[in-house]
Structure formats: C-alpha cells, structure tokens
C-alpha cells in the first residue's frame, strides 16, 4: 500500500513541535470495501512518534467507536501521555476510518439521550435511523466497509508500509476490540498486547 499522493506525508517525531492535525499526520490509501473489487480508495490517517531505537513499536487503537486519535491539543500532550511506551520504541496512533483526520469524514450529528429516562435498544435504533442516512449519503460511504475487521486490515497495511515485522498492540474499550481483531487476523505479527475495558467480542459492531 502506498501513501496517498494527495495527502501531506509528514510523520511526526518526538522533536517535532506543532498541533495534532492533518499537517502532522500521514495517510495510507486503502479500499473502502475490500470485498468489492471496484471499491474506491479512502485515506486512513495515522501518526508515528519516534521512540527509543531498537524497541518493538506499539500500535495504539482508540475507543468509541468514533474516538479520534487527534483528540490531543499538541504533540507534547501525546509525548507526556505515552512516554512510557515511547521509552520502549515507536508509537503509532491509528485513526479509525471515517473518523477525525481520515477521509472521508463520517462526522454525523451527535445523538443525545435525556438523563431522566432509560436508554433502550429501540430508542437507540430510532435515533440512529434518524441521523445516519443523511450523514452516510453526504459522505458517499459504503458502510459495509466500516467494520472492526476493516480497521484491523488498515492497521496491518500501516504496519507493512512502515516496515515493521513485529508490533505490540494496545487499546481500551472499543480500542481493545480493534486490537483483538488485529490479533485474530494478524497474530503472527503481534509481540505483546495490552487490552483494557475489553468488551465481549460478540458485542462488537464489526
């Protein structure tokens, strides 16, 4: 997989100042739906921060679904939060497809539920049915490709692009599910894994 020719490929390092936005992210172009040969390509963002040389790199998956890897104000904030991992090697923050700096963005209207009554499965279905169709149509997205397994495939494409043979994986909540799917599909490349707040795989949105 090659970096998108339309994206700014500028992998951040520990010594690079600046905000966490599209200017310091790199992109990799991947099929939106790998099961469809004629699928268009989309851009998945990732940020590589250089850690101690010679160590095994760690891929960090974020939660949600929909939590962006760009939810940090500066690279200094990331350096402080992930210093313990950077001491062991490079750290790669994987943006979910459709989220944050990835393109297209599926930044839909936020859904809010009142605090004075229970949230039911039916109420969640109704709100999603109200919000999602227009959002998906605006992005021209093939939602069959926006799965946890697809994110795992994206992460492995990034691993291959960066030339890593073995990686550590880390994630919490939905990020743990992404890491789990990566291990299940690409376990031969996994050195160690740390999964927290791990949900039962059967509850995954994959």
More confident residue, 127 or 109: 127
Those residues with Cβ within 8 angstroms of residue 133's Cβ, 6 or more apart along the chain or in another chain:
none
**Average pLDDT in the chain:** 81
User: Residue 203 CA to chain centroid, in angstroms?
Assistant: 19
pTM here is 0.79
Cβ distance 45 to 102 under 8 Å?
yes
187 pLDDT above the threshold of 70: yes
Residue range 95-121, pLDDT digits in tens:
999 888 888 888 777 788 888 888 888
């Amino acid at each position: 997989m090659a970096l998108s020719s339309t994206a700014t490929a500028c992998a951040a390092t520990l010594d690079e100042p600046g905000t966490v936005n599209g200017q310091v992210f790199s992109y990799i172009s991947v099929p939106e739906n790998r099961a469809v040969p004629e699928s268009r390509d989309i851009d998945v963002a990732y940020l590589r921060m250089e850690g101690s040389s010679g160590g095994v790199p760690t891929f960090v998956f974020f939660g949600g679904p929909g939590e962006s890897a760009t939810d940090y104000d500066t690279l200094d904030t990331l350096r402080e939060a992930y210093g313990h991992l950077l001491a062991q090697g490079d750290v790669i923050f994987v943006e979910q497809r459709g989220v944050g700096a990835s393109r297209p963005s599926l930044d839909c209207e936020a859904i809010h539920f009142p605090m004075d009554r229970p949230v039911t499965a039916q109420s969640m279905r109704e709100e999603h049915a109200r919000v999602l169709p227009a959002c998906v149509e605006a992005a021209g997205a093939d939602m069959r490709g926006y799965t946890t397994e697809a994110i795992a495939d994206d992460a492995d494409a990034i691993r291959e692009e960066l030339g890593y043979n073995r990686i550590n994986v880390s994630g919490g909540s939905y990020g743990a599910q992404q890491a789990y799917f990566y291990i299940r599909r690409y376990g031969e490349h996994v050195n160690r894994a740390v999964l927290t707040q791990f949900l039962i795989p059967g509850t995954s949105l994959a």
